[in-house]
Amino acid sequence: MRAGRPRGFCVEDALDRAMTVFWRNGYEGASMSELTVAMGINSPSLYACFGNKEGLFRAVLERYDERRKSFMEYVVAASDVGQMAERFLHGVADFAADTSGKNPPGCLLLQSGLSCGEESIPDELARHRAEKEMMLRGKIEAARKKGELSKDTDPASLARYLITVSNGMCVQAASGTTAKELHAVADLALKAWPATTAKLSKKKSRAAISV
């Protein structure tokens, strides 16, 4: 069988550059010319590798999830759901406000789909956000079964609470709110978290995750 022609560029690097364009301009605002220039490739190469703009965007979302994978693993590996909530919200405060110049502040899953007229794009973004919510919910459900939380605890609502707070923090970060200010918001949000049978550490456990 005849070997395919070498692609001639690093897909991961190209996706990271395209990610920044989508993040800053949104899906609809990101033009093909901007994307190809940022990626350092020509249009035929983009179409050959990703099919079209939507295919490229879907690949960017998968790349984004891969870069966030270690953070979510750290969050759900917490010893109890109180620490999980703490790790999640304070971790979001860190990476949403300080991306070390790699990306704009905030969250790609929120900013890239604002005012998007194509139905498939908001749906795809919602799916990616829902995956993270389900990870949090699974941890909460397990805690309730173990008796760590009361039987009348609603895991779905608690997981949605964390996601809602984190989404708001990301929007604020995109508007210039600092990490310090976001950590203060996280502290306030955690005061509403239900008490557990486990003893929670008074020292915040914040994730130093490269994104």
Residue owning tokens 């079209």: 52
Contact yes or no for 162/99 (Cβ under 8 A):
no
Question: Which of 31, 2, 151, 159 has the alpha carbon at shortest distance from 88?
Answer: 159
Let me know if residue 210 belongs to a domain: no
pTM: 0.83
Is 197 domain-assigned?
A: no
Token pair 């109890």 in the structure block, residue: 80
pLDDT at residue 119 in the model: 67
Residue 200 counted as domain residue: no
Domain count, the chain: 1
Q: CA 112 to CA 125: how far, in whole Å?
A: 9
Q: Is residue 21 part of a domain?
A: yes
- Residue 151 sits in a domain whose CATH number is 1.10.357.10
Instruction: Give the range of the structural domain holding residue 152, as residue numbers without chain letter.
Output: 11-190
Residue 173 lies in a domain: yes
How would you write the pLDDT of the chain (211 residues) with one tens digit per residue? 334 444 567 999 999 999 999 999 989 999 999 999 999 999 999 999 999 999 999 999 999 999 888 999 999 999 999 999 999 999 999 989 976 677 789 999 888 876 565 668 888 888 889 999 999 999 999 999 999 999 999 999 999 999 999 999 999 999 999 999 999 999 999 999 987 654 444 444 454 444 4
| Alpha-carbon gap, residue 177 to 198, rounded angstroms | 33
Q: Is 118 among the domain residues?
A: yes
In a domain, 3, yes or no: no
Distance between CA atoms of residues 129 and 43, nearest Å: 30
Whether residue 176 is contained in a domain is answered as yes
